């Protein structure tokens, strides 16, 4: 069933890849195969404060170790730096930001994190700067997109059309940071549109981001984003049922590799941690088991 052209795996090199990242990539592989899509490796290195060379290298090493391949994107660190870094697309992000400014979809905000927390203890942005009309030259200012209130955003998923409001924490989200760099939501969606991605597979912790990005895309000049379909998967949780993070070393591929685990062992571990009853030893086992879980009709 050829339904999609391109999906992607888009890790942020701010830590070593962990089991959760690999789980997400395995699901991407399974769905790419099912729908006849190619896979793009798209490394988000825009956050230059947290990005490290060793973490970019680790992405290649970990995928190599797991013998997981992809169709498009950088082949190694050198190729990435030379041809695929987000910084290569700075003028593309700037062009879109300029258009959003012209269309008055955005506003200037000079609130500090402290001030935002004082205005709302949960850290939700209250829209304080929306009516202030600060000039774009305001020092130490960010650009926020004026998001609609009480309006549901329609989003296409593998399970059908869904709709939901942008979560409170992402209301009026930042599209250009105080340091002048594009923010994650803007960079991510513009890159996906730029490369022609039409299927996005990501963890269900990014459901809010999908809504935010869908809204942002609707504000951009001609885009194909309305044709992007999402699949949000469950997350691998740690021992205390918490989300895995890149700072927790013991679930990193690097740690598991160094402690002598083979790739079959990693498959088995992922199988156990995600509640697949049968022993998973390779991509084929995983694929069979995962497809069963998504092909079950969902009761709502
Ligand atoms: Zn503000």
Q: Read out DSSP for 57-106? A: HHHHHHHHHTT---SBS-SSHHHIIIII-GGGGHHHHHHHHHHHHHTT-E
Mean pLDDT of 69-84: 97
* 113 CB burial (10 A radius; 0-12, 13-18, 19+): exposed
Number of structural domains, the chain?
Answer: 1
What is the model's pLDDT at position 300? 44
Q: What is the mean pLDDT of the chain?
A: 91
Whether 103 is in a domain gets the answer yes
**Residue 165 CA to ligand 1 centre (angstroms):** 21
Residue 157 confidence class, pLDDT cut points 50, 70, 90: very high
Which of 107 and 295 is assigned the larger pLDDT? 107
Ordered strands of the 199-203 beta sheet: 38-41, 6-9, 199-203, 229-233, 153-157, 160-164
Q: Which residues surround ligand 1, an ion (CB under 5 A)?
A: 109, 111, 128-129
- Whether 241 has a pLDDT exceeding 90, the answer reads no
Whether 1 is in a domain gets the answer no
What is the model's pLDDT at position 221? 78
**Residue 141 CA to ligand 1 centre (angstroms):** 8
**Residue 93 CA to ligand 1 centre (angstroms):** 22
Distance CA 53, CA 57 (A): 6
Mean pLDDT of 122-147: 95
Q: Which domain holds residue 260?
A: 6-295
45 contact partners, CB below 8 Å, separation of at least 6:
12, 13, 51, 56, 80, 85, 86, 87
**Residue 126 CA to ligand 1 centre (angstroms):** 8
The CATH number of whichever domain residue 266 belongs to comes to: 3.40.50.620
- Whether 294 has a pLDDT exceeding 50, the answer reads yes
**Residue 124 CA to ligand 1 centre (angstroms):** 11
**Residue 187 CA to ligand 1 centre (angstroms):** 21
Whether 300 is in a domain gets the answer no
Q: Are 21 and 37 in contact (CB under 8 A)?
A: no
Q: Are 98 and 104 in contact (CB under 8 A)?
A: no
**Residue 106 CA to ligand 1 centre (angstroms):** 12
């Amino acid at each position: 069933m050829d339904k999609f052209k391109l999906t992607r795996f888009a890790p942020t090199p701010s830590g070593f890849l962990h089991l959760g990242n690999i789980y997400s990539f395995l699901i991407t592989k399974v769905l790419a195969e099912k729908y006849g899509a190619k896979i793009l490796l798209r490394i988000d290195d825009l956050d230059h404060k947290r990005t490290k060379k060793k973490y970019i290298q680790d992405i290649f090493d970990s995928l190599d170790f797991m013998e997981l391949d992809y169709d498009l994107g950088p082949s190694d660190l050198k190729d990435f730096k030379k041809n695929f870094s987000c910084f290569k697309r700075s003028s593309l992000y700037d062009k879109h930001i300029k258009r959003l400014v012209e269309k008055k979809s955005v506003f200037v905000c000079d609130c500090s994190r402290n001030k935002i927390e004082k205005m709302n203890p949960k850290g939700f942005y209250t829209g304080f700067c929306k009516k202030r009309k600060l000039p774009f030259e305001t020092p130490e200012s960010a650009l926020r997109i004026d998001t609609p209130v009480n309006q549901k955003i329609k989003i296409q998923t593998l399970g059908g059309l869904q709709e939901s409001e942008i979560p409170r924490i992402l209301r009026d989200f930042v599209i250009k940071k105080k340091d002048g760099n594009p923010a994650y939501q803007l960079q991510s969606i513009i890159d996906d549109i730029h490369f022609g991605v039409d299927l996005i597979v990501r963890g269900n912790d990014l459901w809010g981001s999908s809504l935010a990005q869908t809204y942002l895309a609707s504000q951009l000049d001609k885009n194909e984003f309305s044709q992007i379909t999402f699949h949000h998967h469950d997350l691998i949780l740690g021992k205390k049922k918490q989300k895995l993070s890149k700072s927790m070393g013991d679930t990193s591929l690097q740690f598991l590799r160094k402690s002598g685990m083979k790739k079959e062992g990693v498959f088995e571990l992922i199988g156990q941690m995600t509640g697949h009853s049968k022993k998973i030893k390779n991509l084929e086992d995983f694929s069979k088991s995962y497809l069963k879980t998504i092909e079950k009709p969902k009761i709502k």
